[in-house]
Copies of this chain bind each other. A is one copy, B any other.
Amino acid sequence: MKIYGDLEKRIREIGRGLYGLAGDVPSIFNKRRWMGRLMDHAMKDAEFRLNLFRYIDVLPSLKTSDLIVGLLQEYFSGLPGAPLIIRKGIDRISRGFMPVVASKMIKAGVRSIAGQFIAGEDHHDAIKVLGTLWEDGFAGSIDFLGEEVLSDKEAGQYMLRYLQLMETLAPVAAKWNHDALLENDDKGQLPRFEISFKVTSLHSQLDPVNWDGSIASAKESIRPIVATARSTKASLCFDMEQYYCKDLVIETFKQVMEEFGDYPYAGIAIQAYLKESRTDLLGLIAWARKKKRRVSVRLVKGAYHDYETVYNMQKGWPLPVFENKEDTDNNFEVLTRILIENAEFVRPVIATHNIRSISHAIALGEVSNLPNNALEFQMLHGMGEPLRRQLKKMGYRIRVYLPVGDLLPGMAYLVRRLLENTSNVSFLRGFFAENRSYDEIINPPEPKPHRTWEKLPVEFRNEPPLDFSRAENREKMREALQSEREAFGKRYPIHIDGKDIFREKEIVSLNPADLEEIVGRVSSTDRNDAEQAAAAAVKAWDSWRSTAPEDRADFLFRTAAEFRKRRFELAALEVYEVGKTWKDADGDIVEAIDYLEFYGREMIRLGRPVNLGHYPGESNSYFYEPRGICLVISPWNFPLAISTGMVAAALVSGNCVIFKPSGFSPVTGRRLVDAFKDAGLPNGVLQYLPGPGQEVGEYLVTHKAVDLIAFTGSKDVGLRLIKLAAETSEGRRNIKKVIAEMGGKNAIIIDETAELDETVKGVLESALEFQGQKCSACSRVITVGDIHDEFLGRLRSAIESLRAGLPEDPATLIGPVIDNSALKKIQNFIEVGKKEASLFFSREVDGKGFFAGPVIFVGVNPSSALAQEEIFGPVIAVIRAQDIDEAIEIANNSQYALTGGIFSRNPLNINKACQRFAVGNLYINRKITGALVGRQPFGGSGMSGVGSKAGGPDYLLQFMNPRCIAENMMRRGFAPIS
């Protein structure tokens, strides 16, 4: 790297010139205006800021004046911290006027805030604004604000708007006056206008897990845009959004550009807040150098810092963004330098309002002898006008980024801008609102030592799922799928008292997506085996119960390590054995690991006796002891996770286990036992007993050696086991404990204030992932008010866009159901539904396995079979409710009470759901499946289950008996007095 003498000095000189221009304070920072006062208070009061932005966010979707005024009060009453003037203002608006008038005033207010940042509503506005700017000596880049694209239809509309804009704009732009600075850089001519677009908005199913397929789809949508840009003489910028798709966007950019070798005006954004941005930029330069072409690189800081932090921390993935703004600012300078030093291959576009960053780029350009017009600066519409005028005066080309769109889809953008401007690391806030000193602003950013939060977990942390945006993970998964395929047809033994035993009778495990494939043949047990298993468990118990809780926990931790070693292999197996997609299969392994790590820690916590009552002369020790022999009967739909959860809980709390897997997933079940074996679990502590339910399962339920039964499965089987277990016969020494998790008929309520992007996605995932074969799956949707049609329209298009096929194909989102009887049951319910309700949508899906297409019924009677029976398939029953109270009543009208959800931005409705929506797991504004161990302990009441929640703080208690030892510490009148 070159060393420039006195660069800092020059930066300060340039900066001083820009710093002096602060006079023209933007209205959002102008405290003499109401908007400024609002923002000022938002900057001081985090709760007010949150509520303000949430209110602004929900506003455009509110269809009635009552709602607008009502929510105003909901969001802002009970904020005593707000200054009087704001409280009075809110009060005056909401009480002083008729709702119609008040809501108009509120909307006008928000529109005027939006007007600060959004350049217009449609392409007409865009053309107008671009022309005006051009006259003033500024170029522009149009960005159509897009709502989240959930279907191919929506993606198509988004693309069309760009094509339309370019076609309409080209003849207009041709008539603009000539402007040398705007139309040329150091290497030649530049187009008169630019469009910016998001690759992820051009296709609804882009996901790096399906790398090649996603790129192919994206390219298809982008080609017309590039072709049109070429023909209408527009430049292009590939915008950058979430980190998760970053590599996919860069790769797509390269591939598209290779197809359009003759189009020189393409560019791509690079986000300086990403730790990988330097590598990405160098890769891009190397590619351009190799391809002998030049592309624009728009260097931005990055606008999704909060999102990336939250999303990646929740996943347990390393933070891709710098945690500190200083680091990002520093990296921005590093990248600026790379751009300037490689200006032969990249056209440097510096997109920032930060005076230091700008001054740095200019100074660096000067010392590198780069002509002024080789640098382009970009700024956002409505921000930093004085700055851009001054830069223009200094002879630099400025392009204004012009967001165009309706308030509704634009709201995400608006809120992002407001957040940014009121963030306490915002340059503009510091500059305009806080009048930071010149030194503070111009000093070079100092990188901070990194916090390594991800290295902490002694406490429990969820196992991070596989990041399929990483090529190595996709590669390993493909290899695992291959090797599992090679093991098809293998024979698997049962396991009793540490011995693997083969039996003649076998359970044949088929691939539900392709019935010609036999995943494995597992030995099947009978009563005789059950007797042996029980005897082995009893024999092993005395020593196992006396094993220290910490040591028992250690077996779980070691088994977790075994699972980690073979996580690809296990996921691949599930893809074949139960028909899970890559991510779903991985999710099951992750959850299994979580149970092991969580219950292990729980047992260590619960294994410590508690001393009760601090009285002298006595010691009261309260602790837990195992119950004895636990029969685990587990389902196929989470073949590793649920089995592991029950087995691990029983084992770690000191019970010996007889594990009977589902007949649909015996191979996965066997792998669980292998892992425990490899972790060194003593003989007899865990037996593996696949076999027929009645002959082996029920026999053991009534067996006198069995002390408790942990069951997850259907309601009918569960109820039968509970009844059998309660019949205490002669010779039994205790009353059997049954921990049963059963079905669900789970509802999601959607009210008028729901954010539809999230809602459609949430319902779709909740209802259709794994074909709805989750006890937590959504099978009822209850809409409140008039959101019904709009929601269903978007949901239908979204479902139409889902790819169906073999689960081993990473493009697949719709796979098979588990077996023929499941398929028949689903088909029967569809027939029932056709009589009881109106078929709104159905989709045929074919294949060599048990495929059932998604179905939506509307106008469903809340008491009909369709709304009452668990179908366990991709069937959605939509019910309309007048208001939230009726919606909750409908939701609660079920024998089940497992999961439920509400999508709403109305605090009152959310609160009502919290109070009265009677389910074990209630989810607010997110999908209702995918409960995480330790974070969303899982389980319900009613006919959904008896027992405490899996993955929660009370779960292990069920596997143990509490004991109390009271010792009189006083002898001969003396006692240790502490």
Instruction: Please give the residue numbers on chain A whose beta carbons come within 8 Å of chain B beta carbons, in ascending order.
Output: 46, 50, 53-54, 57, 304, 306-307, 309-311, 313-314, 411-412, 415-416, 419, 462, 546, 610, 612-613, 615-618, 620, 622, 625, 627, 719, 722-723, 725-728, 732-735, 737, 740, 755, 758, 895, 897, 905, 910, 914-915, 918-926, 931-932, 934-939, 941-943, 946, 948-949, 952-954, 957, 961-968, 970-977
Contacts and interface: CB of A to CB of B under 8 A. Distances in A.
Oligomeric state, in copies = 2
A4 to B, nearest CB: 38
A627 to B, nearest CB: 7
Contact of A966 (B616, B922, B972): B922
30 contacts: A46-B976, A53-B972, A306-B970, A306-B977, A309-B977, A313-B617, A415-B971, A416-B972, A610-B953, A612-B934, A613-B935, A618-B926, A620-B935, A620-B936, A719-B735, A722-B728, A722-B735, A723-B726, A733-B895, A733-B942, A734-B943, A755-B971, A910-B967, A921-B965, A921-B966, A923-B966, A931-B964, A937-B964, A941-B961, A954-B962
A725 B921 CA distance: 26
Given A57-B972, A415-B974, A973-B304, A954 B957 contact: yes
A968 B924 contact: yes
Given A310-B977, A314-B615, A722-B726, A966 B935 contact: yes
B922 A965 contact: yes
Contact of A622 (B307, B953, B973): B953
A962 B932 contact: no
B977 A943 contact: no
A905 B968 contact: no
Nearest to A973: B307
Contact of A914 (B931, B965, B974): B965
B735 A971 contact: no
A616 B622 CA distance: 35
B313 A935 contact: no
B722 A310 contact: no
A864 B618 CA distance: 35
A970 B926 CA distance: 10
A257 to B, nearest CB: 29
Given A307-B973, A309-B977, A973-B416, A966 B924 contact: yes
B925 A967 contact: yes
Contacts of A57: 971-972
A699 B160 CA distance: 70
Contacts of A952: 612, 622, 962, 964
A966 B723 contact: no
B942 A734 contact: yes
A953 B610 CA distance: 10
Contacts of A963: 919-922
Contacts of A943: 733-735
Contacts of A615: 310, 313-314, 935
Contacts of A938: 964
A723 B727 contact: yes
Given A546-B915, A612-B952, 6 more contacts: A46-B976, A313-B616, A725-B726, A735-B740, A919-B963, A921-B964
A824 B915 CA distance: 54
A702 to B, nearest CB: 13
Nearest to A932: B613
Contacts of A924: 965-968
A684 B54 CA distance: 42
Contacts of A304: 973
Contact of A728 (B50, B723, B918): B723
Contacts of A946: 735, 737
Contact of A937 (B612, B922, B923): B612
A931 B962 CA distance: 15
A310 B970 CA distance: 8
A271 to B, nearest CB: 14
Contact of A314 (B612, B616, B934, B973): B616
Q: Of A613, A625, A954, which is in contact with the most chain B CB atoms at under 10 Å from its CB?
A: A613
A918 B627 CA distance: 11
A721 to B, nearest CB: 10
Contact of A306 (B942, B949, B953, B975): B975
A415 B304 CA distance: 74
Contact of A974 (B53, B964, B971): B53
Contacts of A974: 50, 53, 306-307, 415-416, 419
Contacts of A926: 618, 966-968
Nearest to A945: B735
Contacts of A740: 735
Contacts of A314: 615-618
A976 B412 contact: no
Nearest to A731: B895
Contacts of A54: 971
Contact of A920 (B412, B931, B934, B962): B962
Nearest to A914: B965
A602 to B, nearest CB: 12
Contacts of A733: 895, 942-943
A323 to B, nearest CB: 11
A978 to B, nearest CB: 9
Contacts of A968: 758, 923-926
A507 to B, nearest CB: 30
Given A616-B314, A952-B962, A306 B971 contact: no
Contact of A976 (B50, B625, B973): B50
B905 A971 contact: yes
Contacts of A758: 968
Contacts of A937: 612, 622, 962, 964
Given A964-B949, A974-B306, A612 B46 contact: no
A948 B905 CA distance: 41
A667 to B, nearest CB: 32
A728 B961 CA distance: 26
Contacts of A627: 941
Chain A to chain B: the 6 pairs with minimum beta-carbon distance, closest first: A310-B617, A726-B726, A613-B935, A926-B968, A307-B973, A924-B967
Contacts of A948: 957, 962
Nearest to A923: B966
Q: Of A304, A719, A734, A925, which is in contact with the most chain B CB atoms at under 10 Å from its CB?
A: A734
A722 B737 CA distance: 11
B306 A973 contact: yes
A698 to B, nearest CB: 15
A328 B963 CA distance: 41
Contacts of A415: 971-974
Contacts of A895: 732-734
A905 B719 CA distance: 50
Contacts of A970: 306-307, 310
A431 to B, nearest CB: 22
A925 B910 CA distance: 56
Contacts of A957: 948, 954, 957
A642 B943 CA distance: 30
Nearest to A724: B726
B936 A964 contact: yes
Contacts of A976: 46, 50
A961 to B, nearest CB: 4
Contacts of A897: 734
A977 to B, nearest CB: 6
A961 B918 CA distance: 10
Contacts of A965: 914, 921-924
A957 B976 CA distance: 34
A948 B957 CA distance: 9
A349 B625 CA distance: 58
A765 B702 CA distance: 40
Contacts of A310: 615-618, 970, 975, 977
A914 B623 CA distance: 11
A319 to B, nearest CB: 11
A620 to B, nearest CB: 5
Contacts of A922: 963-966
A895 B704 CA distance: 12
Contacts of A977: 306, 309-310
